[in-house]
Amino acid sequence: MTNSTTRRIFIGAATAASAMRVWGANDRINVAIVGLGGRGRNHLNNYSQLPEARVAGLVDVNQAARERSQATLKKNTGETAKEFGDMRDAFADPNIEAVSIATPNHWHALSAIWAMKAGKDVYCEKPASHNVHEGQVMIQTARDTGRMLQIGSQHRSTPFKMRALEALQGGLIGDIYQTKGLCFKRRKSIGTKPDMPTPAGLDWDMFLGPAPLRPFNELRFAYNWHWFWDTGNGDIGNQGVHELGIARWGMSDPAWPLTVYAHGGKFAYDDDQETPNTLTASFDFGGRELVFEVRGLLTGGEGFVTAPEGGAAPLDVKIGNLFYGTEGWAAMTNSGFQVFKGESNELVLEDQPEDRSDATGLHMQNFLAASRSRRYQDLTDEIANAHLSASMCHLANISYRVGRQLTLETGPKLVNDAEANKLLTRDYRKPYVV
């Protein structure tokens, strides 16, 4: 019997066992963390502090990352977890009940799909997918298997942002005609590096997974994978998808736009980065629009440069959102929310976070609660909505890459544009096929 046959049998058994699981009020959910880089370490620290969860699995293609995470877990909780080099072995383990994915973007969809088919509930980092096709398959798999699939857009579980968006949707600034997302996060040049032998302890083939097979290069590993089309989506699909999701939220989460147009470039640097460091995208929703900007070079923010007379200084928005309505406008960053109304720009509302801590823990608690209730409707950023936010990033990148406006037909299908439609998916490397 081959290893792949054995794995399929184990996954089938895990699915049956998980389907019968009924959570007790005091049970801890055994979670495996897949991907133990920077964001994965954040997952590890958050789950270590949640009484609803137990970190039972540590999964990474890099042995050194597993060892570091094991030491962190021991320090945090006094416990250790089972280690896995291949995520499929973790999914086949009946002791693993949920999966938290912090891999590079090109692995989000396939790892989530495999995990759900193995009977696991899934928390998956943003963006939901690496391309539009993957998000559609993720939704279908979640519905077919009855598993929970939360995407890591923690702003959806941030109390002051939830209050702010409820107020905007209630007509606080009138009818919203434009929302704007800004990602002016400073990004320095990544430089150039030659290909080199794969470091010991790293499964480079598994790291690449669905992406084309290429020689190991340090710039395609660790954080810089964001800036290559094989594995990342540029900053609009990195930091930017948070703000784009909030911009959609301000418009009451519309589905597909009528048209998409994006332009920009990789300016100032001569290096190996493929994705643009400057990008402006416009999404036409018919009578209102969503605008998104990426600017990784030196820049100021947006919003008022001087305070209204007798009022507080408006937020300087570099990473955040602006909302424009028929009666006023509003600004939001992680530091707070402000609303100005009328011709005099009177400050009528100001709100701030209760504390400055990351809301990821709250978002994970929401995921764990839905895993108990078995109601995907309880998730604050369930896959069906998060797929649309991610797809806006993908459509903007497609428009940029083909150099023209996209017109949408039914759902994400593009009118009379074979070149652009091809970029809705990718050529997958077997056996890593979505």
* DSSP β-ladder status, 346-351 and 336-341: antiparallel
* DSSP β-ladder status, 98-101 and 121-124: parallel
The confidence score (pLDDT) of residue 25 equals: 52
The pLDDT confidence band at residue 18, using thresholds 50, 70 and 90, is very low
Q: In the predicted model, is pLDDT for residue 194 greater than 90? A: yes
Neighbour order of strands in the sheet with 328-333: 346-351, 336-341, 328-333, 319-325, 176-183, 289-295, 278-284, 259-265, 406-407
The confidence score (pLDDT) of residue 2 equals: 37
The confidence score (pLDDT) of residue 381 equals: 97
The confidence score (pLDDT) of residue 305 equals: 58
pLDDT above 90: percentage of residues in the chain = 87
Q: Is 354 exposed, middle or buried (0-12, 13-18, 19+ CB in 10 A)?
A: exposed
Domain boundaries, the chain: 3-156+359-382, 158-354+392-422
Structure tokens at 349: 């509302």
Q: In the predicted model, is pLDDT for residue 3 greater than 60? A: no
Backbone angles phi, psi at 22, to 5 degrees: -120, 125
The confidence score (pLDDT) of residue 118 equals: 98
* CATH code, residues 158-354+392-422: 3.30.360.10
The confidence score (pLDDT) of residue 306 equals: 60
The DSSP symbol for 148 reads -
Q: Is residue 208 classed as helix, strand or coil in its secondary structure?
A: helix
pLDDT above 70: percentage of residues in the chain = 92
The pLDDT confidence band at residue 198, using thresholds 50, 70 and 90, is very high
pTM for the complete prediction? 0.93
Q: In the predicted model, is pLDDT for residue 1 greater than 70? A: no
Nearest to 191 by CA among 218, 214, 215, 226: 218
CA 358, distance to chain mean position in Å, is: 15
Tell me the per-residue pLDDT of 129-173, one tens digit each, with 9 for 90 and over: 999 999 999 999 999 999 999 999 999 999 999 999 999 999 999
* CATH code, residues 3-156+359-382: 3.40.50.720
Tell me the per-residue pLDDT of 27-61, one tens digit each, with 9 for 90 and over: 899 999 999 999 999 999 999 999 999 999 999 99
Tell me the per-residue pLDDT of 55-68, one tens digit each, with 9 for 90 and over: 999 999 999 999 99
Tell me the per-residue pLDDT of 313-355, one tens digit each, with 9 for 90 and over: 678 899 999 999 999 999 999 999 999 999 988 899 999 998 8
Structure tokens at 399: 């428009």
* Residue 204, H or E segment: helix 204-208
Q: What does the alpha-carbon distance between residue 218 and residue 222 come to, in Å, rounded to a whole number? A: 7
For residue 202, the cross-strand partners are 62
The predicted model gives 234-255 an average pLDDT of 97
